[in-house]
Amino acid sequence: MIVKTEAIELNEFYVAGISVRTINQNGQAGKDIKALWGRFMTENVFGSLEDKVSGDIYCVYTEYETDYTDYYTAVLGCKVKSLTQIPDGFTGVTIAGGTYIVYSLEGKCPQNVLNAWQDVWNSDVERKYTTDFDVYTPNVKSFEDSEVKIFLAIK
């Protein structure tokens, strides 16, 4: 459930992690991103990134072919100081500075995120379709209770 929405200005920053090319048709993105989370945990991606700047986990959506109904790339990783020291096999992405709408969520992960994205897709927000992302601030007791925010690049 979305509990708060605000527009903010962000400066450019970087995220490095593992990626998959996917599409939101026939539940494909759900399967692909769930598998990406599995790899993230089992391959200790978080621990592999020495250049990270926080304990937050980022799921970035970028390289949209058109909009949310077409192919895009999902990158699951961490905010890093630069893209010069990312491990082999990892993907680096630049989050452009600009105006973003931020949705703050409540409820249990990952269902709250899935529900919020359904609301986003059904909204009339004028998105840029450049780079959007979720930020997960993990709860040490339970991933289900992590704080989550969705950031959408807007026109």
Q: In the chain, what are the domains?
A: 2-153 (3.20.80.10)
User: Would you say residue 93 has pLDDT above 90?
Assistant: yes
Q: What's the pLDDT band for 143 if we cut at 50, 70, 90?
A: confident
Is residue 16 a contact partner of residue 78, using CB atoms and an 8 Å limit? yes
The answer to whether residue 59 scores a pLDDT higher than 80 is yes
C-alpha triplet 67, 69, 72: angle, nearest 5°: 65
Cα 66-71-76 angle, rounded to 5 deg: 115
Q: Of the ranges 72-76, 109-113, 123-127, which one carries the lowest mean pLDDT score?
A: 109-113
Is residue 106 scored above 90 in pLDDT? no
Give the burial class of 38: count Cβ atoms within 10 A of its Cβ; 0-12 exposed, 13-18 middle, 19 or more buried.
exposed
pLDDT of residue 1: 66
Residue 140's pLDDT is 64
Which of the two residues, 150 and 146, has the higher pLDDT score?
A: 150
Residue 145 has pLDDT above 80, yes or no: no
| Over residues 23-50, mean pLDDT | 93
Give residue 76's pLDDT band: very low, low, confident or very high (50, 70, 90).
very high
Task: Map residue 153 onto helix, strand or coil.
Answer: strand
Q: What is the mean pLDDT of residues 44-67?
A: 94
Residue 26: pLDDT over 90: yes
Q: In the numeric block, which tokens belong to residue 59?
A: 């799921």
User: For all residues of the chain together, what is the average pLDDT?
Assistant: 92
Among left, alpha and beta (phi > 0; psi -120 to 50; other), residue 89 is: left
pLDDT above 70 as % of the chain = 97
